Structure 1
């Protein structure tokens, strides 16, 4: 209610500040009004981009789908799946199925280790798998085809030679995350699909359809998951809000903190990497998938972003992915 106290006389400095403040309000309002219109013009020439959603606070302020399957049909999120496996790992630790990130494959899931595995794989820790620092030769890139055509994906990955010390440099390998997914399945007694639906799908109200399984029945632990852009946005908001969604704590806040601490660095993008999430200098937390699939959160600016793109075209850091980062760190960040 209005105060009955008389207003003090304005000094010249106070008057100037008040006048400048009054002038700034419509300028800020115009900036917010105009900024979303910048995004359609930018994405109009980005032929690989299918859909983009931006949420500030609780409000979705950008919802564009110029190409692809739209905002409400599932899209292949590719290696954003690795970040989802990271969240499921945190839940398994919180539930006691896995003692800690220091637990080893040999302690938790010895049954997945083949008799002819590379010596030392039994001592690989959950943290080394999460951060892609297992030291094993990668199964991505030129080795990908042989790996996914093998009779046992987990065994194939565990037979790769050690090309670096475990816990050392980051070696981007989907096989490493697939090993982690198999460990989670053994440790919890539930498939990755069941875990994803229970831990994320039901609480967030998002659709998580079944995806690719390996010959042993383990769901692909680092690729091929599918979500709608709106579902991706809810996961982005979850990361932004310290694991909370709609007032409920879905993922422990301390796991979000641990996941967003730099543990290593990508040799390709130069971004820091935590427990399945890339970390940019501008403050974005990013899940990145082949072709330009992105789940991004910027906690300081209260932003959550989902982007889907053509899953069949590459998105290199010096090419289309670089354009996406320019979009995030330019027009999108200006919406904060």
Structure 2
């Protein structure tokens, strides 16, 4: 497959995921269609007045497309905004894909397909190492890739274009110069997650998209369509994964419930605890970062969240048994835009207080 073919296919896949849904304004069970008065929201375990205010605030955010609020596993609020896609339709979750890749790595470790977070990655990616590799490559572990502490120059931000137009994404990521020591400062880089996708593919003999469907999609009862691949056919690790808002909520519930679904343990509780423990701090947001999960607080409660470009958010508030999904228009926008801060505020100022008051 040529690079041009891959690029065109990837572009078509992303465009398809963002296309308007002809049924977007139709009513569906447990969902409020655009234009429904916010005061009509009925909830159990959430203060209805605060939730009504949250929905009104959400509807005023022009980029927001969906809002799902689950309390104790029950969907208490389900809303679409501004002609957003149906809540069961897969959409591009952008870098929230990194959180899903982390889950697949944990499952591979649980299945003894990988040795653990301290396993060096160089032997697993030997075919794509540079001709004269920096000795520090041998010190990079699976855990370093998960926590964005490989020390390699980033492939995100200003470096992203050169990376995704290179003929071999794995080789390119491994050939970046070291700007920090392995295990040191957090350097957010999608290349790290893509290396994990390559490791999963080469270790299991199955594509990462197939693993996602078999290990997550099937037990969770959700759709995970195939998504973009690199020139060597490796599913894009850390970006452009497709999952519906309800599917993303179901994935979040897996973590909130300690890795169990329908009475079956599919992901170890130890992995979840390790993933939620911050290893570094984002220099951009100041949030802690573990294995694919950011960490912060909202109204005094610990929050673990997945974050995709443009506002594809999955929030877990364990102390309140809350799972919240927000999806947004993922078209390019100015970095200085306040949309992400507004989503965080929607959680901290309305949804978390609604849960606290609902407990009273």
Q: TM-score range by the shorter chain?
A: 0.7 to 0.9
Count of paired positions: 309
Q: Is structure 2 residue 33 aligned with structure 1 residue 33? A: no
User: Aligned-pair distance for 1:133?
Assistant: 0.4
Is 1:59–2:81 an aligned residue pair? no
- Counterpart of 2:8? none
- Tell me which structure has the larger Cα radius of gyration: 1
Say whether residues 1:90 and 2:106 are aligned partners. yes
1:80–1:294 contact (8 Å) kept in structure 2? yes
Give the alignment's TM-score, normalised by structure 1: 0.88
Cα distance change of structure 1 residues 177 and 198 upon mapping to structure 2, 3 Å threshold: same
Which of 310, 313, 331 is residue 350 of structure 2 equivalent to? 331
Q: Is 2:294 the counterpart of 1:275?
A: no
Once residues 303 and 335 of structure 2 are traced to their aligned partners in structure 1, the CA distance between those partners, rounded to angstroms, is 18
Question: Do 2:45 and 2:71's aligned partners in 1 also have CA atoms closer than 8 Å?
Answer: no
Residue 172 of structure 2: which of 156, 159, 171 is its match? 156
Aligned to 1:197: 213
Change (3 A) 1:94 1:112: farther
1:284 paired to 2:303: yes
Residue from 280, 291, 315 that aligns with 1:264: 280
Pick aligned residue for 2:264 from 248, 252, 265: 248
Structure-1 residue corresponding to 2:327: 308
Q: CA RMSD in A?
A: 1.8
2:197 counterpart SS class: helix
Contact 1:316/1:322 (<8 A) preserved: no
Partner of 1:218: 234
The residue that corresponds to 1:18 in the other structure is: none
1:185 CA drift (Å): 1.3
- Deviation of the 1:236 alpha carbon: 1.2
User: Which runs of 5 or more residues in structure 1 are unaligned?
Assistant: 1-27
- 1:172-212 CA deviation, whole Å, 9 max, x = no partner? 11011111111121122221111111111000000000000
Matched position secondary structure for 2:76: strand
1:181 matched to which residue of 2?
Answer: 197
After TM superposition, the structure 1 stretch with the greater mean CA deviation from structure 2, 239-248 or 142-151, is 239-248
- Report the Cα distance in structure 2 between the residues aligned to 1:320 and 1:65, rounded to whole angstroms: 17
Cα 1:305/1:316, change in 2 over 3 Å: farther
TM-score (norm 2): 0.82
Does the 8 A contact of 2:136 with 2:182 survive in 1? no
Q: Which runs of 4+ in 1 moved over 6 A?
A: 28-31
Q: CA deviation at 1:295?
A: 1.2
In 2, are the aligned partners of 1:118 and 1:160 still within 8 Å (CA)?
no
Greater alpha carbon shift after TM alignment, 277-286 vs 196-205: 277-286
Structure 1 pair 99/62, CA: closer, same or farther in 2 (3 Å)?
same
